[in-house]
């Protein structure tokens, strides 16, 4: 078992008149959906009038497979002032997610079965949606000794990562690939060559030159991507590359896929929507690792998403306490929140301007990541558990801190008006967001 959530009643309801859009199943039609005890039991032509029992009037809305986020920081254990399993999973539910995977760079690190088991137990008590946990590759994320991956996999580790840190030594990376392969879980890599990124604050280019902020060269990522791909190819092991941000990395992934390497990759909403130009504001909510790249990088990432070379959108939801971000840019920590805004941000910045189709966006937010991490694939089909999201594409909403269920507010979107709003989310057969839309 990888995903865990608190107990709750399975929903029995109808969702009537929505445009059902499931790119994986090839469905795009106006349909009524009947869900009984959490399972989709009927997909039918719209009845026109309200069916008996509890239901949602969904005319004009889009019903899609709910989202899966393979890269979330829940800050638990250790920084429960920034996020908890309860608050982070509630935030995810309101963002349309039916499953999330949390990173192990907590305090203490998730590098042994005892810590992981405690998290699983806590998730069973408070996770609003199914939540899984990655475990560390190396003890204390120090990059020196392997964790006991066999025991961790048995305890439910979804994958292994030292996220936030690269595995600096190539030899250690090789050993990690070899050993993880024997556990059936893949490695998820934060690709950064530290001797190149150094004390970098933002993408190295004309903007960093002008602002005087220490530059983080694109090659700091692509050198590590190249090394990791070479090692995965040599060991014939699968490899997931996290939060890619440069055109050079994208090209390396594209070539590796042509060569038959089992490589998968993810990209964040902020790297798809923003460039280093945004950093001119010196707003600390534009400081992230990896940093925002050039327009060329952004367009390459969008192309890779379209072609499928990058099959996952991951928020890298990274909550930080207010006082830690309320400092000059240079001393602010890296990272921004994203669970509650990912769909609307991408719909507003990519789909509406015509840079990406809605179908591709929905696929990469849901089916793509579920496949990579062997999670239940959300599908809208008879017999499947209800993992679905109801979206109002016409709605505009103002991003403001009062709306956030996350305990942190470090969003780059604060104050922006976005198009596309999550109306209702069902995860593993339960209504986890928008229950007020269900009427008797």
Partner 1 sequence: MAEIRVFEGEAQTTTTAPKRHLISIEDLNREIVERLLATARNFSRSLEREMKKLPTLRGRTIVNLFYESSTRTSSSFELAAKRLSADVMTVRASGSSVEKGESLRDTTRTLTAFQPDVIVIRHVQIGAPQLIAATTNAHVINAGDGKHQHPTQALLDLYTMQEALGHLAGLQVAIVGDVMHSRVARSLVQALNLVDASAICIGPPALIPRGFEQIGCQVSNDISEVETADVVYVLRMQQERIAAGESFVPSLREYSARWGITPERLRPGQFVMHPGPINRGVEIDARVADSPESLIEAQVRSGLVVRMAVLYDLLTQGPVSLAPTVNMNEVA
Cα separation, 183 vs 241, in Å, equals: 19
Binding of partner 1 by 296 (CB under 8 A): no
Assign 427 to helix, strand or coil: strand
Asked, as a colleague might, if the bond just before 108 is cis with ω within 30 of 0, I would say yes
Q: What is the DSSP string of 328-347?
A: -GGGSPS----TTTHHHHHI
- Minimal CA–CA distance to 199: which of 287, 286, 282, 111? 287
Binding of partner 1 by 328 (CB under 8 A): yes
Binding of partner 1 by 283 (CB under 8 A): yes
Alpha carbon 161 to its chain's center = 14
Residue closer to partner 1 (CB basis): 329 or 404: 329
Asked if 162 is an active-site residue, the reply is no
Binding of partner 1 by 204 (CB under 8 A): yes
Active-site position among 22, 297, 316, 363: 316
Binding of partner 1 by 215 (CB under 8 A): yes
Q: Contacting partner 1 (CB under 8 A), which of 34, 75, 254, 325? A: 325
Least distance to partner 1 from the beta carbon of 345, Å?
16
Assign 95 to helix, strand or coil: coil
Cα separation, 21 vs 5, in Å, equals: 26
Cα separation, 111 vs 114, in Å, equals: 9
Tokens in use for 336? 């921004």
Q: Contacting partner 1 (CB under 8 A), which of 154, 206, 398, 439? A: 206
Query: How many chain residues are in contact with partner 1, going by CB under 8 A?
Result: 29
Q: Contacting partner 1 (CB under 8 A), which of 39, 43, 118, 211? A: 211
Distance (Å) of CA 358 to CA 28, 313, 416: 11, 13, 21
Least distance to partner 1 from the beta carbon of 212, Å?
3
Least distance to partner 1 from the beta carbon of 416, Å?
10
127 phi and psi angles, rounded to 5 deg:
-70, 125
Q: Contacting partner 1 (CB under 8 A), which of 285, 311, 337, 387? A: 285
Residue closer to partner 1 (CB basis): 83 or 266: 83
39 phi and psi angles, rounded to 5 deg:
-110, 140
Residue closer to partner 1 (CB basis): 161 or 247: 247
Binding of partner 1 by 212 (CB under 8 A): yes
The footprint of partner 1 (CB under 8 A) covers 201, 204-215, 217, 281-285, 323, 325-331, 414-415
User: Would you name the residues annotated as active-site residues?
Assistant: 316
């Amino acid at each position: 078992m990888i995903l865990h959530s608190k107990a709750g009643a399975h929903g029995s309801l109808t969702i009537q008149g929505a445009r059902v859009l499931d790119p994986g199943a090839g469905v795009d039609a106006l349909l009524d959906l009947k869900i009984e005890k959490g399972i989709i039991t009927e997909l039918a032509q719209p009845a026109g009038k309200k069916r008996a029992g509890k239901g949602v009037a969904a005319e004009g809305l889009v019903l899609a497979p709910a989202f899966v986020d393979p890269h979330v920081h829940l800050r638990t254990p250790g920084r429960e002032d920034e996020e908890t399993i309860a608050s982070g999973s509630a935030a995810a539910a309101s963002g349309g997610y039916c499953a999330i995977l949390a990173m192990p760079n907590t305090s203490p690190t998730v590098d042994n079965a005892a810590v992981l088991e405690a998290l699983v137990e806590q998730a069973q008590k408070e996770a609003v949606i199914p939540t899984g946990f990655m475990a560390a590759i190396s003890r204390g994320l120090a990059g020196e000794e392997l964790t006991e991956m066999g025991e961790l996999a048995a305890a439910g580790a979804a994958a292994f990562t030292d996220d936030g840190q690269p595995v600096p030594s190539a030899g250690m990376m090789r050993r990690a690939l070899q050993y993880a392969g024997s556990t059936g879980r893949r490695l998820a890599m934060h690709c950064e060559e530290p001797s190149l990124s150094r004390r970098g604050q933002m993408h190295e280019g004309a903007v960093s030159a002008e602002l005087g902020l220490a530059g983080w060269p694109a090659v700091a990522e692509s050198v590590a991507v190249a090394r990791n791909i070479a090692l995965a190819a040599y060991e014939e092991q699968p490899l997931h590359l996290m939060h890619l941000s440069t055109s050079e990395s994208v090209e390396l992934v594209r070539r590796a896929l042509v060569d038959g390497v089992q490589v998968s990759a993810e990209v964040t909403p902020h790297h798809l929507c923003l460039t280093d130009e945004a950093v001119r504001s010196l707003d600390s909510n534009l400081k992230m690792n990896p940093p925002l790249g050039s327009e060329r990088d952004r367009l390459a990432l969008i192309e890779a998403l379209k072609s499928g070379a990058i099959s996952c959108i991951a928020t890298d939801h990274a909550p930080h306490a207010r006082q830690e971000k309320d400092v000059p840019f240079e001393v602010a920590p890296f990272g921004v929140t994203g669970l509650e805004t990912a769909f609307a941000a991408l719909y507003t910045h990519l789909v509406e301007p015509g840079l990406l189709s809605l179908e591709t966006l929905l696929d990469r937010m849901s089916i793509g990541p579920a496949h990579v991490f062997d999670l239940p694939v959300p599908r809208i089909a008879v017999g499947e558990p209800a993992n679905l999201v109801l979206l109002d594409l016409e709605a505009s909403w103002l991003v403001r801190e009062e709306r956030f269920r996350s305990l942190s507010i470090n969003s780059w979107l604060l104050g922006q008006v976005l198009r596309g709003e999550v109306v209702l989310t069902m995860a593993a057969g339960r209504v986890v967001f928008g229950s007020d839309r269900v009427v008797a």
